[in-house]
Structure 1
């Protein structure tokens, strides 16, 4: 991997920040709010930010960059697909529980549902996320999908994943602001109370975490090599594991193609040398 030290810095920063997000949201609901419960009251609503930030921000962010971890490059592509899908599934389950909590809270308190921009954008992202998740299982995990179709869909899959993740970050910020405006009346949100400052800091950390994940996910030098390149590396490096041949010869990297060309040139030179000595 090119720039491994730089990658390691961003990865460790993202992981530490991700854990900090979970700690911050727990401190928010346990210290500044009414805790956690499933009773139709505010403690039930508090599950919403906890599960959204844990599942839709932290776990989903890890799912996006899991292919970039060089320590997993010796694992088969199929195993990494299951890990990638498993992280997405975990995030999906947590998000669904978070939605149930907020709808149940609204119904118990006779609060209208789906009237805010936060709720419109949030539900749209959840629906699109679930659709992409199901479609990705069909395309990339079921063996019935041709390789050509997988290759054609991959740019859309990557782009939509990053787009939805960015939408999650923006929706979290809208939800945090909306909650603080409603919750902080005395003292008012505008007077910089400790809870307001603390949760605003949480919002900034969410933005920074999202930026780190997107930076890691979009650096070409940190991309997982094609399976054929990994297979060659394993064979020359003495590794017993080999990856399944999911890529065709056209998927070879420039380094591999240059190496093939160099071997052919050397072979021609050897043949020419043999003829000259005969």
Structure 2
């Protein structure tokens, strides 16, 4: 890997910031919001930020950069696909539970659902995320899709994954702000109460984590090398680097074989000529 120490210099802070974001979310709901529960009250709602930051932010962030870890480059591509899909599946499961908690809390308290921008963007992100996970599973993990289809969908898959991660970060920030406006009345949010300052710091950590993950995921020098036996075709009929290498080696091998065959034929002709000349001398 190029700039290995630079990679570590970003990876370690990213993991620390992401883990710290999860811890601070727990501190927020346990210290400022009275804890966790599953009884239709605000304690059940508190599962929503905890599970969102844990699954949708932290675990999804790890799933995005798991291909970039140089220690996994010796692992097979299929194994890495399973790890990537597994992490995203865990994140999707946590997100599902968090949504159940929110709707259960709203229904128990007769609170309208889906009226805020946070809920609109959030639900849109969740739906697109599940579609991304489904198509990724069908196209890239299962061996049914033809190579040219994978080549066409791969750039879309990568772009949509990064876009969804950015949407998750934005949705989290909207959710934190919305919650603070609802619960901070005395003292008000504008008077810089401790909970407001604490939650704002949490939001900054989430932004920092997202920025580090996106930077790591978009550096071409930290991209996982192509496997030498790759047979994936590029769109418009092109060949991948792996295919070109295979074709080149086959061409060289064929040239070697043709040269050796030509040398063998020449040697055989010389032997035949020698036998004919010796036969003529003996006859004379």
> Greater Rg, structure 1 or structure 2?
2
What residue number does 1:235 align with?
none
2:240 aligns with one of 235, 241, 251: 251
Q: Does 1:131 align with 2:131?
A: yes
Tell me: CA distance 1:87–1:246, structure 2 relative to 1, closer, same or farther (3 Å).
farther
Q: What SS is found at the alignment partner of 2:143?
A: coil
Deviations 1:19-74 (A, max 9, x none): 10110000000011110000100110000000000000000000000000000000
Q: Does 1:220 align with 2:220?
A: yes
What residue number does 1:173 align with?
173
Q: Structure 1: how far apart are the matches of 2:158 and 2:135?
A: 13
Cα contact 1:227–1:246 (8 A) shared by 2:
no
Q: Structure 1: how far apart are the matches of 2:221 and 2:239?
A: 19
What residue number does 1:75 align with?
75
The number of aligned residues is 249
What residue number does 1:241 align with?
none
What residue number does 2:19 align with?
19
What residue number does 1:64 align with?
64
- Describe how 1:95-134 pairs up with structure 2 within 5 A: 95-134=95-134
Post-superposition offset of 1:250: 3.0
Cα contact 1:226–1:247 (8 A) shared by 2:
no
What residue number does 1:32 align with?
32
Cα contact 1:227–1:247 (8 A) shared by 2:
no
Q: Structure 2: how far apart are the matches of 1:142 and 1:55?
A: 24
Q: Structure 1: how far apart are the matches of 2:90 and 2:240?
A: 32
Q: Does 1:199 align with 2:188?
A: no
CA RMSD of aligned residues (A): 2.2
What residue number does 1:208 align with?
208
Q: What SS is found at the alignment partner of 1:250?
A: coil
Cα contact 1:41–1:108 (8 A) shared by 2:
yes
Post-superposition offset of 1:246: 4.6
Post-superposition offset of 1:141: 1.2
Q: Which runs of 5+ in 1 are unaligned?
A: 229-243, 272-278
Cα contact 2:125–2:168 (8 A) shared by 1:
yes
Q: Structure 1: how far apart are the matches of 2:126 and 2:48?
A: 13
What residue number does 1:87 align with?
87
Tell me the TM-score normalized by structure 2. 0.83
Q: Structure 2: how far apart are the matches of 1:17 and 1:195?
A: 20
Cα contact 1:226–1:251 (8 A) shared by 2:
no
Cα contact 2:148–2:232 (8 A) shared by 1:
no
Q: What SS is found at the alignment partner of 1:12?
A: helix
